[in-house]
């Protein structure tokens, strides 16, 4: 979009010299390369996520999953994950976002994502929380 604006501006100003055209095409190709790298990075990330999911799905014991998580995640990452799960549970129980934010001394931004997840039709997290309620 940025490059389109540059092209429109230069066309308006009557810039058609060869140097400008060369730089414009360079930036256009650079932009395409950035998009290509971004798309491929997402594919790689999803492939790695699938592999991790397969490893976790292959574990039979809760202790093995805990051990895997403790070895692969830092203590801070585990704390963040545990907090996110706690926020989801509290939202599911009907707690208000403001009450949760005050209790945990965190910003509403951290809670908003969880709230959106639980409001999404067909949410897998919501299904998990409902299943846990039944137990």
Q: What is the pLDDT of residues 6-36, one digit of tens each?
A: 444 445 445 555 555 555 555 556 556 556 5
Predicted confidence (pLDDT) per residue in 114-128, tens digit: 999 999 989 999 999
- Is the confidence at residue 66, as pLDDT, over 70? yes
| Radius of gyration, alpha carbons of the chain | 24
CA 40 to chain centre: 16
């Amino acid at each position: 979009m940025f490059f389109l604006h540059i092209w429109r501006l230069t066309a308006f100003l009557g810039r058609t010299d060869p140097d400008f055209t060369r730089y414009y095409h360079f930036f256009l190709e650079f932009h395409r390369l950035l998009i290509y790298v971004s798309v491929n990075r997402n594919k790689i990330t999803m492939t790695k996520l699938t592999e991790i999911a397969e490893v976790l799905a292959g574990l039979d014991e809760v202790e093995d999953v805990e051990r895997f998580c403790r070895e692969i995640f830092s203590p801070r990452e585990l704390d963040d994950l545990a907090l996110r799960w706690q926020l989801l549970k509290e939202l599911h129980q009907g707690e208000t976002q403001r009450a949760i934010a005050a209790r945990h001394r965190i910003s509403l931004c951290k809670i908003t994502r969880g709230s959106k997840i639980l409001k999404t039709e067909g949410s897998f997290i919501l299904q998990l929380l409902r299943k846990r309620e039944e137990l």
